[in-house]
Structure 1
Amino acid sequence: MTTTAVRVPYVVAYEVETVALNLAVIHDVWALNGRRLSYADPAASDWVMGVLWARQKCDRRGKVNYKEMHTLRQRECMLHRLCQVCQAPAMDPGTGRLSWLFHEEVHAGAGQLSKPPTCLRCIPKARAACPHLQLDAHVYTSPDYEPWGVKGLVFSASGRPTLQDVPLTDLCTLEFTLARALIVHVSNLLPRQAPWPARPPYRNLHGGRVNLPGEPVARQSDDRTGAWGLRPDLEGRWRRPPLTTPLRSFEWNCRYSPHSVYPPTSEP
């Protein structure tokens, strides 16, 4: 038996790449307040775009941490317009637009994003590998973007660091921010036809269609088959099962849930 290996996205971090961060506050004559966040052993490469970035190793092996993006690889994909899955150029040469993959619909035509784009070739692979995208996935395209800010930990003398989105124009806050991801501003975001067939309707154990949260409840069954395999009578009305049919707790809960899996009936 052969198995197809799932490609790990280029931007995803590995557990072996995590390093201890020995942070310190140093005096800096170029800082607005005379001090700024730094490492105990600072290097010139620690600051990019005037911001201190989190250190990580570059060793793509071992256990994958899908919940975290690698700081350097994420910034590289953002600055060079690379695909977050295969590291290839993400812009479509035919349209001159970038593709973005979301697990829900986007209702704004512009905004800030911290995840890199995905090339059209890798969109089906990304959807097949991600459980969230398997449930629902939407593709949007946009023209070129521009850096807006960073997502990182903001340190203060009054309390613990907090994760914030800091714009590049907020110089005072950036001096005490440990950046973890680059944020870009995207405009003219338009939906694109997904390169896969429409999602089939979810069905319960008896074949009845399940309306997911957020979907309108259908007033008529789309396949003319009820939850128990019933069919409408000559007048088009759905009949309830006879009283001898056992009602399980699962069926009872589904029947009286807000998103009922049973076809509507005109009987009281």
Structure 2
Amino acid sequence: MTGAAPRALRVPYVIAHADEGAPQRLRFARRPFGGLRLAYDNPRRSDLVRGVLRARVLNNRQGAPQWRKLNTLRQWRCMERNLCQVCGLDATDPITGRIPWITTATAFRAIPDVSNSGYTSAPATCLACIPESLGMCPQLHVSSAVYTVARSEPAAVLADMFSPGPGGRAVHTGEHNVLVGLNEPALLRSALATQLIVRIEDMRPLKVT
């Protein structure tokens, strides 16, 4: 008698796939009231979100999973709508109204002098998907904690930084994953956002069984 076949690893909703890349043809364009701002050669209204230029990606979930990379559109959607990063559904507990969240040392930063609050680039995880996430994600074995939070609010982005080159061409500065606050317009003008960061508040430890 043969044993049961191992369960296939589910690819989380937020993970990027190999065929979701998009051209990033960038330049610095002069704004109507002066000053330069990073833009695409063929700008679209959807490029600017919350005052920052967002990196273009496809949203087809085609190609091999890129386990160490998040799809910018789906990550952003999860953060703005409190969707589960694994299944893509609403992560808010319908009974308590609170949002379950797994934090890690690499994706969470506590706010000094503000108790039970912090910044994170990792989306929420619904109660149904937490056991699977903790059991199957190697990164969560290293350092993770599970909380419920009362609310989340967009606060910053992780971005690649650019500077103007000859003819307005955008030149990458070599800086990746730079934390830029949504209240820093001078920096946002030179930033290409790849992930949205939210502030989570009223964090309470959640015991996972």
Q: Same-fold call, TM > 0.5?
A: yes
CA contact (8 A) 1:138 1:194 kept: no
- Secondary structure class of the residue paired with 1:194: coil
Work out which structure has the larger RCO, using CA pairs closer than 8 Å and 6 or more positions apart in sequence. Answer: 2
Distance 2:160 2:189 in 1: 11
Pair 1:174-2:188 in alignment: yes
Instruction: Kindly indicate which of the two structures has a greater share of residues assigned to strand.
Output: 2
Distance 2:51 2:103 in 1: 30
Amino acid at match of 1:174: L
- Displacement of 1:2 in angstroms is 2.1
- Displacement of 1:20 in angstroms is 2.6
For 1:132, the equivalent position in structure 2 comes to 139
CA contact (8 A) 2:82 2:90 kept: yes
RMSD across aligned positions (CA): 2.1
* Identity between Structure 1 and Structure 2 (%): 37
* Cα distance change of structure 1 residues 175 and 4 upon mapping to structure 2, 3 Å threshold: same
Match of 2:8 among 5, 8, 11: 5
For 2:74, the equivalent position in structure 1 comes to 73
Distance 1:50 1:89 in 2: 26
CA contact (8 A) 1:109 1:190 kept: yes
Please, what TM-score do these two structures have when normalized by structure 2?
0.84
After TM superposition, list the pairs within 5 Å mapping 1:14-163 onto structure 2.
14-30=17-33, 33-103=34-104, 109-134=116-141, 137-157=144-164, 160-163=173-176
Unaligned 5+ segments in structure 1 are 196-268
CA contact (8 A) 2:109 2:119 kept: no
Range with bigger deviation, 181-190 or 99-108: 99-108
Please, what TM-score do these two structures have when normalized by structure 1?
0.67
For 2:207, the equivalent position in structure 1 comes to 193
- Displacement of 1:138 in angstroms is 2.2
Distance 2:132 2:140 in 1: 10
